[in-house]
Copies of this chain bind each other. A is one copy, B any other.
Amino acid sequence: MLDCTLRDGGLINEHKFDDKFVREVIKALNASGVDYIEVGYRASKTAFSTDKFGKCKFCDEDFLRKSIEGLELKSKLSTMCDVGRTDVDAIPDAKDSVVKLVRVACYTKDIDKAIDLVNKFHAKGYETTVNIMAISHALQPDLEEGLAQLAETPILAAYIVDSFGALFSEQVHFLVKLYAKYLKPKGKEVGAHFHNNQQLGFANTIEAIRKGANFLDSTLYGIGRAAGNCPTELLLSFLKNPKFNLEPVLDVIEKEFIPLRDKIEWGYNIPYMIAGVLNQHPKAAMALRAGKDKDKYVQFYRDSLAQEELS
């Protein structure tokens, strides 16, 4: 179980979480027993401005050490890197870092580049995974070729990332079985990362588990870009493993996420649902929600259908 609250949730607010919030999230998740806590990206400072983005976008070693100071950390820390937006040389070796896992995010077409990054991070001593985004747009031969290549790398797991919240249970079953066919014989796991555009984030994670997925993403109160993610509080309750503890999760939601939700928006609403139903990127829906027409659903639906015909 990997909670990616600080990483995926940060996509809503340019990763501008304040230091206290970051620390409280890590503290609660560590107490809850999740296996990994993803604290953000380690993005290149050449590609992204430190004026525009918050600390969780870069995850400097100093910042991370301060965030966990005095905590008895049982969960491992993870960061994400995007293909093309990472300066590997600027990132310390694993032995000099509190981070243990690096997750490389890419589209199907960039799996070669992702593998190159995986090899570099592996050489630096990190655990690695590859997260294949926009999976509902992937062509099966391309995906199968990529999975066959990934099976030969040092990754722990490759993820199904339903970026558009478009998948239903039967498609989840199909994809988990396809991933498993290539990965399991080589001792690698299938990962699951589902968005909530159709209120299926948690349900699809359960379906992935039923078919053998073993690396599971979630976020506190479902925070994440647009419709958000599978909620950590639901997944933790479902798994019923005695090592997990729900109370610290409820506590941090009560104290940190309810006030935050008044300031930034995430979760199910009609424009994100339309994007999910039409298997489209949520960017148009996010732009709508930021403007004065945020509840003009019929017009947005017509525009989205027109977009579909163009593409």
- A residues contacting B by CB (< 8 A) are 168-170, 196, 198-204, 206-207, 210, 221-222, 231, 233-234, 237-238, 246-247, 250-251, 253-254, 258, 270, 273-274, 277, 295-298, 301
Contact = CB atoms under 8 A, between A and B. Distances in A.
Contact of A169 (B207, B270, B273): B207
Given A168-B238, A270-B233, A273-B234, A254 B199 contact: no
18 contacts: A169-B169, A169-B203, A196-B199, A198-B202, A198-B234, A199-B199, A199-B202, A200-B203, A203-B203, A221-B270, A233-B273, A250-B274, A250-B297, A250-B301, A251-B297, A253-B297, A254-B297, A254-B298
A298 to B, nearest CB: 5
A225 B258 CA distance: 21
Given A246-B301, A254-B295, A169 B210 contact: yes
Given A234-B277, A250-B298, A258-B295, 19 more contacts: A169-B207, A170-B210, A198-B202, A199-B201, A199-B202, A199-B222, A199-B231, A200-B202, A202-B203, A203-B204, A237-B273, A250-B270, A250-B297, A251-B297, A253-B297, A254-B270, A254-B295, A254-B296, A254-B298
Interface of A, helix, strand, loop or mixed by DSSP: helix
A251 B200 CA distance: 23
